[in-house]
């Protein structure tokens, strides 16, 4: 596969790492926002987008589930990245030189023990890859970045300490978005169907809508709710289920769901990535 894949953030980010692992043949296109990454696919600048949707430590990524239903794009794959955090500094710097470490707000607390042990002050940056770039540009041995080894490779920084995160299982799940829905059966670990829906305004509508999945033996691995258009009474749900829409039990469950909802939209049908197991 040739072409481009859009990400939110700079080169060297964990999104970039996800692309390198899952789409090594595509050129990475950095974008300022998630909306920009989605627009790059919609206008043909990129063939696909790699978007983070949830993290094992911090939960779902803000705004992504709100953006996906209106993006006009479809999920064609998922990818997982184990978030290893490294202390990166300019060549020649030593661990004893470092006074400040720069990174994204969510990464700093994950390295609290290491920073405290070495008496390093944390400094917030909008993006961990940007922090690495700015440390390289500054050229000051007292400043370091907390980022991926890929960021160090791209910006010419040395790794002073590897895998300094406090938790040993921090993982981010990404979805790969494309303009076309791909319903072909593929992959070695089964299929996942993602969809959004809104329930009808009747008593116990959500309970009744979910009943079809239980009675038909369909495993629902994710159910997220969020408000629609800022209304406290209009709620949309995002769901992942194991199975393909053509599976008989999935068809029955979706038919029952349709009876209790005002709309259902399939976001994607894609193979389960081995990283989720």
Could you tell me which of 240, 234, 241, 223 has the C-alpha nearest to residue 200?
234
| 3-state SS assignment for residue 258 | helix
Q: List b or e across 77-108, with b for residues whose CB sees 16 or more CB atoms inside 10 angstroms.
A: bbbbbebbbbbbbbeebeeeebeebbbbeebb
197 is known as an active-site residue: no
- In angstroms, the CA 92 to CA 70 distance is 49
Choosing from 34, 114, 174, 197, the catalytic residue is 174
Q: Exposed (0-12), middle (13-18) or buried (19+): which is 43, by Cβ within 10 Å? A: exposed
Q: How do strand 59-60 and strand 74-82 relate by DSSP bridges? A: unpaired
User: To which residue do tokens 């997982």 refer?
Assistant: 80
171 is known as an active-site residue: no
Neighbours of 223 (CB within 10 A): 13
Choosing from 172, 195, 197, 260, the catalytic residue is 172
Q: 71 Cβ partners below 8 Å, 6+ apart? A: 38, 42, 177
Active-site residues: which are they?
A: 172, 174
């Amino acid at each position: 596969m040739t072409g481009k894949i859009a990400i939110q953030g700079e080169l060297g980010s964990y999104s970039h790492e996800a692309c390198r692992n899952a789409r090594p043949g595509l050129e990475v296109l950095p974008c300022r926002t998630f909306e920009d990454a989605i627009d790059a696919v919609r206008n043909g600048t990129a063939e696909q987008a790699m978007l983070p949707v949830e993290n094992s430590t911090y939960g779902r990524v803000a705004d992504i589930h709100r953006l996906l239903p209106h993006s006009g794009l479809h999920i064609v794959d998922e990818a997982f990245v184990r978030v290893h955090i490294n202390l990166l500094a300019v060549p020649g710097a030593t661990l004893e030189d470092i006074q400040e470490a720069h990174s994204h707000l969510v990464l700093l607390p994950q390295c609290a023990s290491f920073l405290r042990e070495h008496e390093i002050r944390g400094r917030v940056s909008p993006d961990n890859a940007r922090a690495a770039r700015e440390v390289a540009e500054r050229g000051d041995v007292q400043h370091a970045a907390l980022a991926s080894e890929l960021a160090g490779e791209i910006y010419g920084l040395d790794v002073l300490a590897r895998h300094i995160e406090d938790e040993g299982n921090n993982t981010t799940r990404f979805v790969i978005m494309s303009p076309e829905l791909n319903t072909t059966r593929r992959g070695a670990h089964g299929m996942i169907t993602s969809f959004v829906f809104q329930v009808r305004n009747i008593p116990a509508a959500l309970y009744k809508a979910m009943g079809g999945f239980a009675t038909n033996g369909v495993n629902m691995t994710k159910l997220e709710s969020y408000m629609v258009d800022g209304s406290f009474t209009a709620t949309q749900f995002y769901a992942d289920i194991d199975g393909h829409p053509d599976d008989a039990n999935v068809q029955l469950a979706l038919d029952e769901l349709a009876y209790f909802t005002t709309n259902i939209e399939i976001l994607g049908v894609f193979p389960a990535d081995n990283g989720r197991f």
